[in-house]
Amino acid sequence: MCVPETPDKILGMKKAIYIAALMLALTLTTLSRSRAEETWTGEITDSACKHEHVPVAEGEGVLPAPECVKVCIRGGSKYMLAVDEKIYEIENQKHPDLEKFAGKPAKVSGELKGNAITISKIEPGS
């Protein structure tokens, strides 16, 4: 014989299902927002020169990469990361280590969103 559920039991089950669904939704939202940190090895360059540094003035030689990047940045270019043939934008242009590694090989860790990296750490590259 089947005993009918009381309104209190039904209400309690509905609340439990609602709470479980809410917790699942919050967990999925949190997981979708957290991105895995990645690491790239390349050269910190600038948006003007990208892969190839060029003379800053006609008839002048090409500056060494670190100096060239710093000159371009002062001229309004943005820092970028060149990895093989790929160029990534750098989201946090004010990262304290960008100037230190300008024009040099660097190992960059951070989160990639689209074509832009938000850097969390920069180390010497090889």
Spatial distance between the Cα atoms of 74 and 76, rounded to a whole number of angstroms:
5
Q: Report pTM.
A: 0.69
pLDDT digits (tens, 9 = 90+) for 7-59: 777 777 778 787 888 788 777 766 555 568 999 999 999 999 998 887 777 88
Q: Which domains does the chain have, with CATH numbers?
A: 1-34 (no CATH), 38-124 (2.40.50)
Closest by CA to 110, choosing from 51, 32, 41, 29, is 41
How many beta carbons lie within 10 A of that of residue 117, not counting itself?
22
Spatial distance between the Cα atoms of 19 and 25, rounded to a whole number of angstroms:
10
